[in-house]
Amino acid sequence: MWNDIKSNLNSSLVYLLEYILFVFVISLAFLLLSNNTLNELLVYLLVIAASLVIIFLVGKKRNRELIEIKSIIDNISTNKYSNTDEIILSKNLESLENAIKKMYQRSKNDIEHLNRLQKVRSQFIANVSHELRTPIFTIQGYIETLMDGAIDDPKVNKQFLKKANQHTIALSNLLNDLIDLSMIESGELRMSYRYFNVNDYLKKIVSEMKHSAEENGLELILHPVRNDLEIFGDKEKLKQVFVNIIQNAIKYTDKGKVEVFAEVEKKNVRFIIKDTGIGIPDESISRIFERFYRVDKARSRSVGGTGLGLAIAKHILEAHNSKIEVKSKLNTGSEFHFKLKK
| Residues in touch with ligand ADP (CB under 6 A) | 244, 248-249, 252, 275, 277-280, 288, 294-296, 300, 305-311, 334
Residue (19 or 261) nearer to ligand ADP, CB: 261
DSSP state of 326: E
Closest CB 151 distance from ligand ADP, rounded Å: 32
Identify which of residues 208 and 254 has a Cβ nearer to ligand ADP in the complex. 254
- 300: phi > 0 → left, psi -120 to 50 → alpha, else beta; which? alpha
Least distance from C-beta 319 to ligand ADP, angstroms?
Answer: 17
- Closest Cα to residue 65, out of 21, 104, 100? 100
> HSE (CB half, 13 Å, CA atoms) of 261?
14
CB of residue 238 vs ligand ADP: minimum separation in angstroms?
A: 16
Q: Closer CB to ligand ADP, residue 68 or residue 290?
A: 290
Least separation in angstroms between residue 159's CB and ligand ADP is 25
Q: 230-233 and 256-264 as β-strands: parallel, antiparallel, unpaired?
A: unpaired
Q: Distances in Å between the alpha carbon of 109 and those of 104, 105, 185, 261?
A: 9, 6, 22, 45
Nearer to ligand ADP, 56 or 124 (CB): 124
Q: How far is the CB of 273 from ligand ADP (least distance, A)?
A: 8
97 or 131: CB nearest ligand ADP: 131
**Alpha-carbon distances, residue 10 vs 21, 62, 73, 209, 289 (angstroms):** 18, 10, 21, 82, 63
Cβ closest to ligand ADP, residue 225 vs residue 278: 278
Provide Rg for the chain, Cα atoms: 37
CB of 162 to ligand ADP, least distance (A): 21
Q: Which amino acid is it at 2?
A: W
Beta carbon nearer to ligand ADP, 231 or 245: 245
Neighbours of 260 (CB within 10 A): 21
CA gap 342, 241 in Å, rounded: 17
Say which DSSP state 269 is in. Answer: E
Task: For residue 64, give the nearest of 101, 37, 89 by alpha carbon.
Answer: 89
Closest distance to ligand ADP from the beta carbon of 209 (Å): 13
* Smallest separation (angstroms) from ligand ADP to the CB of 259: 12
Closest residue by beta carbon to ligand ADP: 305
Question: Maximum CA pair distance of the chain?
Answer: 129
Judge contact between 245 and 305, C-beta under 8 A. no
Given the complex with ligand ADP, which of 300 and 322 has the nearer CB atom? 300
